[in-house]
Amino acid sequence: GAGVSQSPSNKVTEKGKDVELRCDPISGHTALYWYRQSLGQGLEFLIYFQGNSAPDKSGLPSDRFSAERTGGSVSTLTIQRTQQEDSAVYLCASSLGGKDREQYFGPGTRLTVT
Amino acid sequence: SQQGEEDPQALSIQEGENATMNCSYKTSINNLQWYRQNSGRGLVHLILIRSNEREKHSGRLRVTLDTSKKSSSLLITASRAADTASYFCATDQGGSEKLVFGKGTKLTVNP
């Protein structure tokens, strides 16, 4: 079956603009995660959705970052008023949820803020 | 913040040799996972070891876990050029489903 897909694969934007990154998880996976990977910070957790529960937003670096998950499937990560330090690869993952589950990662979106 | 810390940061070996990477972590865990990443993009899950397990095998991979030392090792036997990648350990921080990743080991296998 299809894996986790993300779009766009690359995004170049000007500082101050808003961007939206999309993630399509594996069908049937109830848990969805966003991570960010940058040279200086490594792989960082951003936000996690599990079913109908309130998302765990503890990793979002500022209030410019938000995410939603519609219908328990597709998720959109929005970054408002982008800054150069937001440049990174944004990775989405999904899993069946629950304890001891492996996460399946998408190919990522490389965001460059100029 | 990064919990797992892998060492070495970089490892270069010849094809056919074994590669050992280590990971240390700080808090209690339910499980520890190893992932591989090629070319700085998507991660591929390799193996998950639970906190009550000490060793696990999958093909040419062998993972050990020592919860008393808060450390794990990943051994790749009979390495191949295709094993060239970055390897990350990730922990669940005692039941949280969000993963905390180490900074990774960059493995180069020379043909």
pLDDT tens track for A47-72: 999 988 889 999 999 999 999 998 87
pLDDT of residue B41: 73
CB contact under 8 Å between A43 and B95, yes or no, is no
End-to-end CA separation in angstroms for chain B: 36
Nearby residues of B99 by Cβ (< 8 Å), 6 or more positions away: A33, A35, A45, A103, B33, B90, B91, B92
Q: Which of B28-37, B45-54, B95-104 bottoms out in mean pLDDT, i.e. has the lowest?
A: B95-104
B81-91 CB burial, b ≥16 within 10 A, e <16: eebbbbbbbbb
Q: Is A91 within 8 Å of B42 when comparing Cβ atoms?
A: yes
Closest CA to B108 of B11, B8, B19: B11
Identify the DSSP state of B58. Answer: E
Query: What are the pLDDT digits (tens) for B60-110?
Result: 999 999 999 999 999 999 999 999 999 999 998 766 788 999 889 999 999
Q: What are phi and psi of B8, to 5 degrees?
A: -75, 170
pLDDT of B48 over the 60 cut? yes
- Chain A residue numbers with beta carbons less than 8 Å from the beta carbon of B88 are 43
Nearest beta carbon to residue B97 from set A44, A48, A91: A48
Chain A residues in contact with chain B using a Cβ-Cβ cutoff of 8 Å? 4, 31, 33, 35, 37, 42-45, 48, 50, 56, 58-59, 89, 91, 93, 95, 97-108
Positive/negative CA dihedral, B61, B67, B68, B69: positive
pLDDT at position A78: 98
Q: Do A102 and B30 touch (CB under 8 A)?
A: no
Encoding tokens for residue A90?
Answer: 């944004």
Picking from B33, B40, B90, the nearest residue to A89 by CB comes out as B40
